[in-house]
Amino acid sequence: MNEPRRASIVGTGLIGASVALALRGQGWIVSGTDTDESRADEALAAGVIDAIGLDADADLVVVAVPVSSVSVAASEALRVCPRATVTDVGSVKAPIVAAVGDARFVGGHPMAGSEQDGLKGADANLFNGATWVLTPTDETDTSRYAALRAAISSIGADVVELAPARHDALVALVSHVPHLTAATLMGIAASQAEEHSALLRLAAGGFRDMTRIAAGHPAIWPDICAENRDAILEGLDALTDALAAVRVAVADGDRGGLLERLEIARTARIGLPTGVAAVEALVDVRVPVLDRPGVLAEVTTLAADLDVNIFNLDMAHSVEGDRGVLIVTIDALASERVCEALTARGYKPSASPVGR
């Protein structure tokens, strides 16, 4: 029997505490620290960590602090824990990897989070099925990297390997620039709404979807914008250029050009990986329903009775009031029997490939 492996977590917030729980579930002995000592105490009291502190015998240290503090914390961990492979969970990689610059350090970024901040959102299953980017470089110790990759796979995550700068460019495109754009659209509407109170009454579901992320806490964004500055600027320039081309198409009445752009976007959006299963195997079943107690329970219970997993669920209100369309995303193979069962109960379901 091998000795249990030992890990330390620096920063016992949502992600750090979830990593701690997940590693302990795999038999690791896990200690933890936090700049806010009361948070480490809470994590210990809640059974999230075995001990407080940075373990000098640690095999693995996971640095789970805000991006602007990662490189200092990682360097400290490399010094205190001479045997450890050190990784982090920050959402920007190139500046951190360059600043730390050590064969024992590998940058990481789990694409996981929770609506609930801090310890109370911590969950050993948080990374189950999540994409977890690792950014090894030419300097990275190969056997350490293999062991890190195995540890992360062991807690259920799918490891994607990317060069640090490539990671940063990609998240700028699919996360940072979209976030700034959502906030910008919301800001423009808000400034107009001051003058025209009717404006926000005209904002329908599409606008709500587009701006939902703008409701998030802004505190993390100045750091992200600072750390991933260059990639975000490139992304903003790409967006501005593309919008300028759209403007030309609108100004010129270029119907074919507009249609082509929208068709490309539509095809891509429909093909977006759902993170749950092969997208070609999923269908949206649309079920007009009335808002009354029990209606959702009836539909979802019916799916459960048929042992059909619901991958996604959305309640589209045509507008307001007491009617809506329940959009239930399920495996295409189950579509027919779910629709039959719904029809038998008086619903009028219609099924279509996801996104159509």
Q: What is the rounded distance in angstroms from the CA atom of residue 291 to the CA atom of residue 287?
A: 12
- Write down the least CB distance from residue 217 to its own copies, Å: 7
Reading the block at residue 173, the tokens are 């495109």
- Write down the least CB distance from residue 277 to its own copies, Å: 7
- Write down the least CB distance from residue 241 to its own copies, Å: 9
| Phi then psi dihedrals of residue 99, to 5 deg | -70, -40
Which residue in 15, 6, 60, 58 sits closest to 34, CA to CA? 15
- Write down the least CB distance from residue 83 to its own copies, Å: 30
Environment class of 81 (CB within 10 Å of its CB; exposed 0-12, middle 13-18, buried 19+): buried
Nearer to its own copies, 6 or 179 (CB): 179
Nearer to its own copies, 56 or 99 (CB): 99
Cβ atoms < 10 Å from Cβ of 302: 17
Nearer to its own copies, 70 or 171 (CB): 171
Nearer to its own copies, 141 or 223 (CB): 223
Nearer to its own copies, 23 or 177 (CB): 177
Q: What is the rounded distance in angstroms from the CA atom of residue 84 to the CA atom of residue 100?
A: 14
Reading the block at residue 153, the tokens are 């796979």
C-alpha pair distances (Å), 67 with each of 85, 97, 104, 116, 311: 19, 11, 19, 19, 32
- Write down the least CB distance from residue 281 to its own copies, Å: 14
- Write down the least CB distance from residue 81 to its own copies, Å: 27
**Distance between alpha carbon 46 and the CA centroid of its chain, in Å?**
25
- Crossing angle of helices 229-251 and 164-171, in 10° steps, is 40
Nearer to its own copies, 150 or 242 (CB): 242
- Write down the least CB distance from residue 106 to its own copies, Å: 17
- Write down the least CB distance from residue 22 to its own copies, Å: 12
Nearer to its own copies, 2 or 201 (CB): 201
Nearer to its own copies, 80 or 246 (CB): 246
- Write down the least CB distance from residue 54 to its own copies, Å: 26
Nearer to its own copies, 153 or 301 (CB): 301
